[in-house]
Structure 1
Amino acid sequence: MKQAVVAPSMMSLLYPPSGIAGYAREAFIQDVLNEAEKDIRSYLDAGAHKVQLDFEEARLSLKLDPSGGVLEGFVDLNNQLLQRLTEEERTRIGVYCGPGADQDSTHSLDVDYGDLLPQLFRLQAGSFYLSLASEPDPERALKMTADQLRPGIRVFVGVTDPCDPRAETTEEVRDRVLRAARNIPADQLGTCDDAGFSPFADDQSTSRQKAFAKIRARIEGTKQAAEALAGN
């Protein structure tokens, strides 16, 4: 089981610019890190296979601050949390990053992955979950991901798009996985869904039946791709 948690970078935005009397921002940030660490350890101790940091604000930050300074600060803050974990524990930490999907609408799909990935892969996590099925040029995104790949990490690429009302076929998913495997070594590759299944109940455009059809296609298509790669 994979358990998602909100990244400290997002929580840091809750502190008001005007400050809080008697509660300095530095103290607030330490409390955020302490509580995030507590959450992660509770899930690891409970046997979660992976704990995923939701870092959706990463791509959006580049739209709001093209200089990249905000993103760099976000990454540094999240690394402060990850540095509290052991090397073995960090192998069980994943990071999700995407362009948003609330109400089937993205907030930063127009931000180039090339500006994001170098900073994203500075995070000291064992896995990365990347939105890809909704990308206008997935081949280019895969090549840029491969350029940032380092030993010991695994990249899960999105092979279904929950915002697309049409359920992908098994064959489509298989072909998307095989395309990814031409850029990323198979032993460092996994699959996931893009965002849009509405965990916060903010959208009812995707029915339960459609969601499970997409998930079924991902599982069966990934299995077919794995068999094809094993045959090669």
Structure 2
Amino acid sequence: MISMPTLRVATYNIAAGQNPDPQAINRLFTEENLDLIGVQEVDRHTRRNPYDMPAAIAGTRYHAAFAPAIPVMGGDYGIALFSREPLLNVTNHHYAHFGEEKRVYQHGVYEVAGTPLSVYNTHLSFETPALRQLQVAELTAAMHADPIPRQVLFGDFNMDQSHQEWDYFDPALRRANGGAGGWFDTFNGRDAGMQSFAIDNILVTPNIQLSQVRVPSRILSDHQLLAATLTF
């Protein structure tokens, strides 16, 4: 039997405002044997976290690519991708539509056994479903224009009003959260304005198989890590 290339991946909002422990996060990534991770709410050289958080989380095991969204407390706040091997052609993009905070998505290319994988990571606005729908439209347009056929999208999508918000995405995309394994409430805090807590997800194009979706019990943030295996 021919062995197909696989990747163990995850998405994780680490709640920079709650002073996350970068070493504990690195240990969690290592324990889960992760190859590629999209992370949201990351600080770099802010007064509340006065160090290079992406580098501290990466340690010696991972490479980090940081995308600043807004300036915060003398530094930057945004999202980051972590990978076993360096990502290629990493770019950062601000959404044209946003609420209280500017929002970004980042894109890079990861080589898997000689096959390019297009990698996206984002953190959508929390204010309204209508605003998120506009951001999804921007992101979807970028993915559709991408010449690389295999794509994965990580993110905290803040789709907290109903599971139907996920219908904003191309129905051909496969979801780790809300897929064959059902829904995972990845936000572990409580917010009276939220109707759904399954707000973190990993989406892939139909030419990638999703399996072994799980949410480890370790609590290091007000979100849970969502992990999955991708097979090409």
| Greater Rg by CA | 1
Judging by fraction of residues, say which structure has more strand.
2
Q: Flag the structure with more relative contact order, 1 or 2, with Cα contacts below 8 A and sequence separation at least 6.
A: 2
TM, length-normalised to structure 1? 0.36
